Amino acid sequence: MTGYYSVLIESVSNLFDVNVSLKEDKYIYCVRCSNKIDLTKYGGTEIRFCDACGHNIENELIKRGMK
Ligand SMILES: [Zn+2]
């Protein structure tokens, strides 16, 4: 029972995290060229590189807890 509930709570909180990040962090600014990158452009999960300069923004996303 305990195991079932912890899995359930975990999946619910994952959904919650996705909703929060979509609402509050739709954009990220590239640390190299300050390009505004729309994180929802590809569904919010596939963006790894700045579309202007090609800088890898994955670390920025990880720092924000968005990955
Ligand atoms: Zn850039």
Tokens linked to 31: 């640390």
Q: Residue 18 Cα, ligand 1 centroid: separation in angstroms?
A: 24
Q: Residue 54 Cα, ligand 1 centroid: separation in angstroms?
A: 6
Q: Residue 50 Cα, ligand 1 centroid: separation in angstroms?
A: 5
Strand partners, 38: 27
Q: Residue 32 Cα, ligand 1 centroid: separation in angstroms?
A: 5
Domain ranges of the chain: 2-63
Tokens linked to 67: 């990955």
Nearest to 61 by CA among 28, 12, 16, 22: 28
pTM of structure: 0.51
Indicate whether 30 pLDDT > 60: yes
Q: Residue 17 Cα, ligand 1 centroid: separation in angstroms?
A: 26
According to the model, what pLDDT value does residue 66 have? 63
Q: Which residues of 1-29 are buried (b: 16+ CB within 10 A; e: fewer)?
A: eeeeeeeeeeeeeeeeeeeebeeeeeebe
According to the model, what pLDDT value does residue 64 have? 79
